[in-house]
């Protein structure tokens, strides 16, 4: 019995020594590897690439001229590469690692635009799913909900929607609903409590008020579409408002 336990113990120790030796061998082999090239894995957003592989390669090679054949993989600055690319406005997340044959593998996730701030006298900007505001791409355009108005432009200057956190639930509500995403073409945001909806069908601009109590307001707009406008005509009123609690004002 004791001999059996001793054999098992010796076998376990031998296995551990072999494993440690193998790890040491692999690490030693890795140290002798040299830079074998660059590989970019770029994840598309809805089939669109706001940043291209060629641009990423140019950024990396310009920022790290040491990346040449013969450079030991242990000297490849992985953290620095990630930090440099993380500063790109269209890049949401980046991971750099050493792959097979010393290849520098860079995996990139892009920001996903959910709305676009349109400015008549300045450059437009996208609002991302996280509420950040980033520049538009010179290469590609994403078809998203349009935001206009003085307050929308103010948010653009601030770089995020932090001063109006209630805006993101409104944008998500409109864009994630099949009917409203097709019917609402634009949000006009003049003030926090002065939001107006521009429609695909109907000339009237609907006064939404603030971005609170959204579900109740859109239920009232739905009543307007289903019960009032079919009887009165789609262009019967010049002003429609649901900004007051439990009311639809048609004039």
Q: Domain coordinates of the chain in residue numbers?
A: 38-110, 149-250
Lowest mean per-residue pLDDT among 11-20, 73-82, 128-137: 11-20
Q: What is the pLDDT of residue 126?
A: 92
Tokens of 178: 């099949």
pLDDT digits (tens, 9 = 90+) for 83-127: 999 999 899 999 999 998 899 999 999 988 999 999 888 889 999
pLDDT digits (tens, 9 = 90+) for 214-251: 999 999 988 888 888 888 777 778 788 999 888 888 88
Architecture of domain 38-110: Roll (3.10)
User: For residue 135, is pLDDT > 80?
Assistant: yes
| Mean of all residue pLDDT scores within the chain | 84
User: For residue 8, is pLDDT > 70?
Assistant: no
What are the helix (H) ranges across the chain?
2-31, 53-63, 78-86, 150-158, 167-176, 178-183, 214-223, 229-232
Q: What is the pLDDT of residue 23?
A: 47
The pTM is what? 0.76
The DSSP bridge pattern shows strands 206-209 and 240-241 to be: parallel
């Amino acid at each position: 019995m004791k001999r059996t336990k001793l054999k098992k113990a010796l076998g376990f120790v031998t296995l551990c020594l072999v494993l440690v030796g193998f790890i040491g061998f692999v690490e030693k082999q890795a140290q002798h590897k040299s830079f074998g090239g660059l590989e970019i894995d770029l994840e598309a957003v809805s089939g669109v690439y706001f940043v291209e592989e060629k641009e990423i390669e140019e950024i990396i090679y310009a920022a790290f001229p040491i990346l040449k054949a013969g450079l030991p993989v242990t000297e490849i600055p992985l953290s620095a590469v990630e930090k440099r690319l993380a500063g790109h406005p269209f890049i949401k997340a980046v991971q750099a690692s050493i792959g097979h044959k010393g290849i520098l593998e860079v995996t990139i996730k892009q920001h996903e635009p959910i709305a676009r701030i349109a400015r008549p006298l300045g450059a437009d900007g996208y609002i991302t799913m996280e509420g950040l505001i980033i520049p538009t791409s010179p290469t590609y355009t994403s078809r998203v909900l349009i935001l206009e108005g003085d307050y929308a432009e103010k948010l653009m200057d601030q770089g995020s929607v932090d001063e109006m956190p209630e805006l993101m639930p409104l944008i998500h509500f409109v864009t994630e609903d099949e009917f409203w995403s097709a019917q609402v073409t634009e949000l006009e945001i003049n003030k926090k409590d002065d939001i107006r909806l521009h429609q695909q069908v109907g000339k009237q601009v609907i006064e939404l008020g603030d971005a609170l109590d959204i579900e109740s307001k859109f239920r009232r707009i739905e009543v307007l579409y289903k019960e009032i406008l079919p009887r009165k005509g789609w262009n019967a009123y010049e002003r429609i408002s649901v900004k007051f609690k439990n009311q639809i004002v048609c004039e």
